[in-house]
Amino acid sequence: MTGALRPAVADYLVMRRALGYRLARPEKLLGQFLNYLEESGADVVTVSAALDWAQLPVGASPNWWAYRLSAVRGFAVYLHSLDPVHEIPATDLLPQRPCRACPYLYSEDDVAALLAATATLRTPLRRATFATLIGLLAVTGMRVGEAIALDRADLDLSAGRLLIRHAKFGKSRELVLHRSTVDALHEYLKLRVRLAPGAGTAAVFVSTAGTRLLYCNVHWAFHRLVGYAGLAPGSGSCRPRIHDLRHSFTVHAMLQAYSAGQDGQARLALLSTYLGHVDPASTYWYLSASPELMSVAGHCLEAHLAGRS
């Protein structure tokens, strides 16, 4: 086999992306699957080959195996419509069980410890990049991918705003920044120009090689910073993740609204838009993991019921 399926996978990805899907991870997985087929001399997708490849990471979670197989399944459906010789793995071969991690809610001290831990990184640029990135995530609730995708043209520091383009579901939104955040970004950009003058990217956050940060590398570095910061897991399913900075921002925003006597429902609707959620139900899930917030909501409900009676 000499890569006969590679044009097909390219066409498949173009078609799916035209429908609004990003498919960064599935594209990587499908490339690995094609490598596996080529090494075995196969030019047809079979259920057996897909299943064997999906379970290659020995010791991986069943959900990860199921995800790998689902990436192949989508491509196999496309191939089968062109040539029935290609087989489609059944959806129940490796069933995926929905399992959301319990959010780790960072306190102000936790965030301060993470920022202090960036001092352990090797170069001045890397230290400044991760300190600014973590700080921005903590005070805006942005998704990690959104922050990595920021270009310098997306920042309007004179107006104290930043533009998030082509976010999840193809949505764009504008965020207003606090003065302290504007100052931090301004200082980072000055340092970036001095330490990475030859960077060939328009990205705000750059690596020591002068390129845009990679999602997987950011997660790996954050995991190390968690260790340096001494942050311990809340439980087996509640471990400090970089995405939990978004959860923490949402919870703290709602707690501040309640403590100020504001309308929680009105604040929830604003937060949902600010975070880029399509449905406020997604925002509510972020909040349901906070015992403090659930306690406040319970008191509000009790007061409402007492007043009605």
The model's pLDDT over 46-96, given as tens digits with 9 standing for 90+, comes to: 999 999 999 998 888 888 999 999 999 999 999 999 999 999 999 889 887
Q: Is 17 a residue of the active site?
A: no
Q: Please indicate whether residue 143 is annotated as part of the active site.
A: yes
Q: Which of 168, 239, 241, 267 is catalytic?
A: 168
pLDDT digits (tens, 9 = 90+) for 140-194: 999 999 999 999 999 999 999 999 987 766 678 999 999 999 999 999 999 999 9
How much is the pTM? 0.68
Among 228, 243, 267, 284, the active-site one is: 243
241 carries an active-site annotation? no
Strands in 173-176's sheet, in edge-to-edge order, are 155-156, 161-164, 173-176
pLDDT reading at 242 higher than 90: yes
Provide the pLDDT confidence category of residue 287 given band limits of 50, 70 and 90: low
| Active-site option among 246, 247, 252, 274 | 246
- By the 8 A CB rule, do 132 and 150 touch? no
Q: How many CB atoms lie within 10 A of CB 285?
A: 15
19-33, 97-111, 258-272: least confident range: 258-272
- Write out the H or E segment, with its range, that includes residue 212: none
Closest of 71, 74, 37, 30 to residue 52, by C-alpha = 37
Query: Where residue 112 falls among pLDDT bands split at 50, 70, 90?
Result: very high
Any residues with CB less than 8 A from the CB of 30 and at least 6 apart, and which?
9, 12, 13, 71, 72, 75
Active site residue 286: yes
Whether the per-residue pLDDT at 255 is higher than 50: the answer is yes
Q: Say whether 168 is catalytic.
A: yes
Which domains does the chain carry?
6-82 (no CATH), 108-229 (1.10.443.10), 244-308 (no CATH)
Angle formed at CA 120 by CA 237 and CA 223, multiple of 5 degrees: 20
